[in-house]
Structure 1
Amino acid sequence: MIRLEKLTKIFDTPNGQVVAARDVDMEVPQGEICVLLGPSGCGKTTALKMINRLVAPTSGKIYINGEDTSKLNDVELRRSIGYVIQQIGLFPNMTIEENICVVPKLLGWKSDKAKNRARELLDLVGLDANLFLKRFPKELSGGQQQRVGVIRALAADPPVMLMDEPFGAIDPINREIIQDEFLKMQAEIKKTIMFVSHDIDEAVKMGNKIAIFKEGIIEQYDSPDTVLAHPKNAFVADFVGADRTLKRLRLVTVEEVADPNAPTVSGHAKAKDALSAVQNSTVNVAVVIDGDHKPVGYVTAEMLEGARGNVRDLARPLPAIVPFRADLRAVVSEMFAHDIMWLATVDDNGRFVGVVTQPAVTGALGETYRRNVARAIG
């Protein structure tokens, strides 16, 4: 857990004093990611650097897991915190294994324990330890180097990680891949993380909480959904963008809104027998499934009425299928692309698990508004 109390930093400059951060109060619960956002010069990086004392606070307190960090010396403090920067900072004259083992060895770990940790962490981010341990940084791509930079910060198993725009220099495709790998890793290791970004989309994807800074002051600190649905003031609304409702599509998965009771029919069924199933559907559709419960097409009441033969002879191909782990951006994109109001969704094995509809998407986006209205009334 990270807790900041009245944290303030004032720089003395030739032109007078500059307030970089003023009375910053916030708490990041254990195992969660907090993303610091705001325009350039707003104080977010200064706030981050005060935590590991790369910038000395002017006043205020910093607690990590309940311990007042002012009672620790600089070296002791920094060795207990993982730190990842945009420039990666790998030592070019060291192998990947040596880079990862730097802090564990400083902490007195035995060589075998440190090396095993390096191998374990490489596997965790999808890099084959047998291929990468003995390579030098220049032999890796930028995306691979960034992964090593992240796991090096984890090598000594610190309780807290600080990340300063760690994925900012990576191209969009690799950035998405590395973000996904990091979130998978975080689901296992559950570190408490403070994360500086300039990208609202990245913050929505990565953060459990978002803190939006302006001129050294936190304007709003809340969940991504609440920040997007209920910006506290005009500055926050402008910063997160006029398309903030669309950004919320990233926060909801297909699994959360799909109807698992949507009707299905076998391709071997008679058309007349399938008609009642379709008529009971809210979208006037039944999904045709094969023997493995995988979707292979669809039929409508109009197609079945008065028809003879089997369903498979009448079924049409599904215009699109979405994985149940996908977010609602994928759903809306496919609905627009195919001019449809519903989509079939499948699990990791390709089996049909339900139908997601346009009204369900709209309802999910409205849920936060309804919760907040109810809270205000109550």
Structure 2
Amino acid sequence: MIRLENVTKSFERYLAVDNVSFEVPKGEICVLLGPSGCGKTTTMRMINRLIELTSGRILIDGRDIHEVDATELRRSIGYVIQQIGLFPNKTVEDNICTVPDLLRMDRKASRKRARDLLEMVNLDPNTFARRYPKQLSGGQQQRVGVIRALAADPPVLLMDEPFGAIDPINRAVIQDEFLKLQSELKKTVIFVSHDIDEAVKMASRIAIFRAGKLVQYDTPDNILAHPVDDFVADFVGADRTLKRLQIVPVRDAMQSDPPRVTTDTPIDRALELMERHEHQVMVMVGPNGRARGLVRRDAIRGAKGLVSDHYERIPCVINIDETLRNAVSMMFTNDQTWLVCVDDDGMYRGYLTQRGITHLLGETYRTS
């Protein structure tokens, strides 16, 4: 969708961007990351021609950006900045519709879209549409700034440290709202950040810059697991293994489809299964496969009847699509060394252990 080919930007006294090439597939978020002065913001601003490149090419959906009038190009690309830049004399609704109005889009349709977008970021349009920016909190203003960039439904969105000036609590909320929006709208996004944790959370791919050069371009997991050099390793931090916990899903580390017992399994059969598979604890499922409880080998030894007469409740379960970070937090909170893993319907899919987590992460480094 967005392709940079040998892009270079020279100013009078220095080379800001040095022969940079990468491609962002349609519907993905690419975060440009690096220390101050590394060229990441200059690179992003060349995409909508706020800064003109010195050499190379930038293509959007196969078309060279210099084949398009600069003003027309900018109106077709959503743009979100850290300072937000809402017009103080316009209502929230009119701020959102700034570009649709410039493009002479149907007023009724654009206002409806503005209200729909407000709902998508948890701002009640009946409450907020007619307010002015000064009547909003900083976090609310930032939400409006993000959806204003989406009002004309652009295929490409540029974001220049859009959440950097917001407090940590609101930042996390707005990041989550944006990711939810992105899952529905599938925009192609270039996102400038200085925060590796934000990049890991938000990005499909990360481009790390140093002194105008693109040092590494890869998925967040590969950058954390396989930094290309000492600069990247130092930049992502000594705790890069812990950072991976927030992007690796439970399903990748769990033991899938282990043996289980049902509510009508006889005690002697359950003991036989546990001994054969060397399990001290086994999950009991209901008729449809949903996790219902735990059966402990020591507790049922010598007992009679069915396992449903001798089970105990499951302290906590984790969804297979949750991150390992959430899983580890749940383990610590509930003083557990393993978790029952379920899908969205509550079906038992496997179990996750602390050892399984460390094995998965360690195996990545051993095969690097």
Equivalent residues in 2 for 1:51-66 (5 A)?
Answer: 51-66=47-62
1:368 is displaced (CA, Å) by 4.5
Partner of 2:268: 272
Partner of 2:361: 365
Q: Which SS does the other structure have where 1:154 is aligned? A: coil
* Distance change >3 Å, CA 59–CA 123, structure 1 → 2: same
1-structure distance, mates of 2:4, 2:104: 30
The TM-score with structure 2 as length reference comes to 0.90
* Distance change >3 Å, CA 279–CA 138, structure 1 → 2: farther
Equivalent residues in 2 for 1:197-346 (5 A)?
Answer: 197-266=193-262, 270-281=266-277, 283-289=279-285, 295-308=291-304, 311=307, 314-338=310-334, 340-346=336-342
> In structure 2, what residue type is equivalent to 1:165?
E
> In structure 2, what residue type is equivalent to 1:78?
R
Q: Is it true that 1:31 corresponds to 2:23 in the alignment?
A: no
Contact 1:253 1:328 in 2 (8 A): yes
The TM-score with structure 1 as length reference comes to 0.88
Partner of 2:167: 171
What are the ranges of 5 or more consecutive residues in structure 2 without an aligned counterpart? Answer: none
Q: CA deviation digits over 1:156-214, x for unaligned, max 9?
A: 11121100111122222222222222122212221111101111111111111111111
Partner of 1:43: 39
2-structure distance, mates of 1:165, 1:276: 59
Q: CA deviation digits over 1:96-119, x for unaligned, max 9?
A: 110111101111102112112212
Partner of 1:155: 151
Q: Which SS does the other structure have where 1:232 is aligned? A: coil
User: Which of 22, 31, 43 in structure 1 is aligned with 2:18?
Assistant: 22
- Output the aligned Cα RMSD: 2.5
Partner of 1:81: 77
1-structure distance, mates of 2:8, 2:279: 57
2-structure distance, mates of 1:92, 1:288: 60
2-structure distance, mates of 1:154, 1:190: 11
* Distance change >3 Å, CA 157–CA 323, structure 1 → 2: same
Q: Which SS does the other structure have where 1:251 is aligned? A: coil
1:217 is displaced (CA, Å) by 0.8
Q: CA deviation digits over 1:290-346, x for unaligned, max 9?
A: 677654542222222223465456444434322222101122233345554320123
Contact 1:212 1:236 in 2 (8 A): yes
Q: Which SS does the other structure have where 2:14 is aligned? A: strand
Contact 1:9 1:21 in 2 (8 A): yes
Equivalent residues in 2 for 1:105-120 (5 A)?
Answer: 105-120=101-116
* Distance change >3 Å, CA 91–CA 291, structure 1 → 2: farther
* Distance change >3 Å, CA 336–CA 81, structure 1 → 2: same
* Distance change >3 Å, CA 288–CA 141, structure 1 → 2: farther
Partner of 1:68: 64
After alignment, is 127-136 or 40-49 more displaced? 127-136
After alignment, is 359-368 or 54-63 more displaced? 359-368
Q: CA deviation digits over 1:33-86, x for unaligned, max 9?
A: 110111111111111112112222233222111111123232111101100111
Partner of 1:11: 11
2-structure distance, mates of 1:282, 1:76: 67
* Distance change >3 Å, CA 193–CA 367, structure 1 → 2: farther
After alignment, is 83-92 or 130-139 more displaced? 130-139
What are the ranges of 5 or more consecutive residues in structure 1 without an aligned counterpart? Answer: 374-378
2-structure distance, mates of 1:351, 1:143: 38
Q: CA deviation digits over 1:111-155, x for unaligned, max 9?
A: 112112212222333333333222222333322222221111011
> In structure 1, what residue type is equivalent to 2:107?
S
2-structure distance, mates of 1:9, 1:224: 26
* Distance change >3 Å, CA 335–CA 6, structure 1 → 2: same
* Distance change >3 Å, CA 160–CA 318, structure 1 → 2: same
Partner of 1:376: none
* Distance change >3 Å, CA 177–CA 349, structure 1 → 2: farther
Q: Which SS does the other structure have where 2:43 is aligned? A: helix
Q: CA deviation digits over 1:198-248, x for unaligned, max 9?
A: 111111111111111111111111111111111111100100111112211
Q: CA deviation digits over 1:346-376, x for unaligned, max 9?
A: 3335454332233432343356557x65xxx
Contact 1:226 1:368 in 2 (8 A): no
Q: Which SS does the other structure have where 1:250 is aligned? A: coil
Partner of 1:146: 142
Partner of 2:92: 96
